[in-house]
Structure 1
Amino acid sequence: MKKKFLLLSAIAIAAAAHSQVGIGTANPNPSAVLDLSASNKAFILPRISLKSTTDIVTVPSPVKGMMVYQLINSGSGTAAVKADNIYKFNGTNWQQLVDNIGASKQVLSASAVPGQNLQLVNVAAVQLTNEKNDIFNAWDGTVFTIPTGEGGVYTVNFQSANLHAITGGSDNWFIIAKLQISTNGGTTWTDLTRDTRSGISLADRDNGNILFWSGSLQDGNKLRVAIYCSSTVPNTVDLASIVISKT
């Protein structure tokens, strides 16, 4: 306790005399209120266990500019905080500092439960209900919605493998996969990209589609993968997955 008091007293005296405090240096930068210098030591931020990005209790009455090192994963959806990340308070909530500018992060990974029948469908949203990762809680099994405050550049990867019945049907059928966007809450949909497999024979049991797209999306935009298939006999989804990343 005595040592802490002496250290605080020394800092207070130095601040009063020079308006700058130097720790590890006798000549603090004149533009800095605090100048830390060391060749083999590091600065440690306060290590905190925030409950969410809206937590104003763990750090009582936080003010804009405060920074902490988050110790645990907590919260859900857009209010989630992740362990081993630095957060700053922006005056309203805690915001994660980006440590790799330009690097992308996966925001969704989901796969299909085998069995969805695509026979003679004009448009059917692919059902990818087995979620692996959904950090925004923005996927409902068929549609991904950009959360408020998360507009930006996104990359979408989709692939599917289907099994087609080889008896009772006809040759020259097709299957088309489209990545579509809605900007009006799902009322209408517009194609972003598509993959067409046409002229498929009855004997072709294996078929599928691959989609890749990257571009800017706004808050509230919705994405889905829609399928068009002319097969007159069952053509069922065997394997399918979607991965969405944000830069």
Structure 2
Amino acid sequence: MKNLNLKIAILTIITVISFNYNAFSQVGIGTVTPDASSMLDISSTKKGMLAPRMTTAERVAITTPANGLLVYDISENAFYFYQSSTWVKMESESASRVNHKIIKSAADLSEELAAGGGSKYLLTTNTLYEINGTVDLAYSIDLNNAYLIGLDTNEDILVKPGGTMFVSSKGGTIKSLTLKAPGGTIFNMTGNSTNSFVFRDSIVVNSASIGTISGYGLVFFSIVQFSGNTTGITYSNISDLLLSNIGWFSNNSGTYETLTGTFDIVEKQGGFSELNGAAIGLDVSSNPTVGKGILTGASFSGTSTEYVKKYTVGSYSGYNFNNAWTVDCPGLPVESDQLASGNIYYDGDITSGFRQSVSNGTAFNLIGNSNSNTTTAVNLLRMSSPQNNKLTYLGKKTRTFQINATLSVRGETLSGNFYAFFIRKNGSDSLIETNTLMRVNNTSDISSNAISGTVELAPNDYIEIWGQRLIGSGNTSIAVFSLNMNIK
């Protein structure tokens, strides 16, 4: 009996030891040597592992699924795994993006180098090239209507130590990259009116020159930062140039942005230009032809004395642009049709004035007959004074103006005569509401007359100060000692 009990005890101990060993060791199916890193190692050269299969309704009905739970959805013919309170579909390779290439070094562009004849990387049209890490380029890239992107601007970097980084006769897109061309140029790109070039969410640093972009139908820069560059960029002959939230730091030098040639639209909104020393933010001194220019919300600041190198033709004293532009930026004078204004004044001898002949009741322009009325124009914006006693509106939009004018007048003869002085538009339209009256009591009195009113002017409309005798006859004259007209 004792021997039987001893055998039972020994068998029990062996069973427990064996159970504990199996509970904490790897399990192998089809192998007696499961991998040490795996709890379950299935080995076969003829069969696979079959995961639980179920419909979508059955999958989503699983109660409290654990993170990492894996099933095969037969409704969608796809694997799903559970993660952070949601089912995640595992896409197959056939469902991933086509025309997609990851570039980790210049060696990954060997096919493109061959396509470029061994002298440049000719990218494949409509292909997405994803830059992963820092790529040192031995040749220029011809964008060729491809898409060149990174996932992390600070980590995905293109470097071209000399020469030009991008050359292209077509367009394309560059996004989320840092570009460096120490001793070289970033862009030398010339397209045509059917091409578009998009550059956004990127950084350009430590380059000798940003370069030139010309000839495109559309160029769109958005959220691009420039830092530590020696020379800026020139835009030339582009139909639509759109610049949004571009940042130029003070460690850039030279001229940041230059416009040359002809543009349908130039629109620069937001962003900043920090300008120190001899740096220039925007150069329009070549007098580019712009159908519509909009420069708003971009901040110009720094110690530079010339934020904008102004138009040499068509701009106004104290301003930078011509009539095609609307400008409203911190650091720059505001320019728009709504602020169009001007002033003229008689610049002759105030003690003798000028003489104006009067004939019966005929209206007369106060240009003078002897000691002619010579006027000087000042404070002009979207206005000109092509001849004495005239202000011409040069803006693009029809708008209403406030007019204020003053005259100091003496009747030379014929006491008792009455005169009206008023504003006339375009030489024929008398603005009766601006009438001011003068009665000649004696020929030694000088009358001070104020004229005010409003007028609607279209582009190239003009105004003048006119007079007319209301009571009296025969030929006479008046003397005008001062004349001033302001419009705004």
Q: What TM-score range do you get, normalising by the shorter chain?
A: 0.5 to 0.7
Which residue in 2 is equivalent to 1:116? 355
Unpaired segments of 5 or more residues in structure 2? 1-135, 137-152, 158-174, 179-199, 205-221, 226-244, 251-271, 275-279, 301-306, 368-372
1:49 Cα offset (Å)? 5.2
Instruction: Provide, for residues 186-214 of structure 1, a one-character-per-residue CA deviation record: whole Å limited to 9, x for no partner.
Output: 4x32325211123x312651124211122
Which residue in 2 is equivalent to 1:26? none
Which residue in 1 is equivalent to 2:27? none
Contact 1:159 1:208 survives alignment (8 Å): yes
Which residue in 2 is equivalent to 1:15? 176
SS in 1 for 2:312: coil
- 2:285 paired with 1:50: yes
Residues 73 and 129 (structure 1), Cα distance of their counterparts in 2 relative to 1, 3 Å cut: farther
Matches within 5 A, 1:63-142: 69-72=307-310, 74-75=312-313, 79-80=314-315, 85=320, 95-99=325-329, 104-111=339-346, 113=348, 114-120=353-359, 122-127=362-367, 128-133=373-378, 134=380, 136-142=383-389
- 2:461 paired with 1:221: yes
Counterpart AA for 1:178? F
Q: How far apart are the structure 2 equivalents of 1:153 and 1:190?
A: 16
Q: How many residues align?
A: 205
Counterpart AA for 2:346? S
Instruction: Provide, for residues 104-129 of structure 1, a one-character-per-residue CA deviation record: whole Å limited to 9, x for no partner.
Output: 45334232532123444621111253
1:234 Cα offset (Å)? 4.1
Residues 205 and 47 (structure 1), Cα distance of their counterparts in 2 relative to 1, 3 Å cut: same
Residues 106 and 146 (structure 1), Cα distance of their counterparts in 2 relative to 1, 3 Å cut: closer
Residues 220 and 104 (structure 1), Cα distance of their counterparts in 2 relative to 1, 3 Å cut: closer
Which residue in 1 is equivalent to 2:483? 240
Which residue in 2 is equivalent to 1:28? none
Residues 97 and 179 (structure 1), Cα distance of their counterparts in 2 relative to 1, 3 Å cut: same
Which residue in 1 is equivalent to 2:411? 164
Instruction: Provide, for residues 143-174 of structure 1, a one-character-per-residue CA deviation record: whole Å limited to 9, x for no partner.
Output: 33333625323222211112334xxx443221
Counterpart AA for 2:487? I
Q: How far apart are the structure 1 equivalents of 2:337 and 2:395?
A: 20
- Normalised by the length of structure 2, the TM-score is 0.34
Which residue in 2 is equivalent to 1:179? 423
Contact 2:356 2:366 survives alignment (8 Å): no
1:10 Cα offset (Å)? 4.9
Larger radius of gyration, structure 1 or 2? 2
Counterpart AA for 1:158? A
1:142 Cα offset (Å)? 3.5
Which residue in 2 is equivalent to 1:60? none
- 2:447 paired with 1:207: yes
Structure that is richer in strand per residue = 2
1:218 Cα offset (Å)? 1.2
Unpaired segments of 5 or more residues in structure 1? 24-31, 56-62
Percent identity at matched positions?
8
Contact 1:70 1:83 survives alignment (8 Å): no
Contact 1:73 1:82 survives alignment (8 Å): no
Residues 144 and 54 (structure 1), Cα distance of their counterparts in 2 relative to 1, 3 Å cut: same
Q: How far apart are the structure 2 equivalents of 1:156 and 1:12?
A: 60
Matches within 5 A, 1:182-201: 182=426, 186=427, 188-192=428-432, 193-198=434-439, 200-201=440-441
Residues 12 and 179 (structure 1), Cα distance of their counterparts in 2 relative to 1, 3 Å cut: farther
- Normalised by the length of structure 1, the TM-score is 0.61
SS in 2 for 1:202: coil
Aligned CA RMSD, in angstroms, stands at 4.4
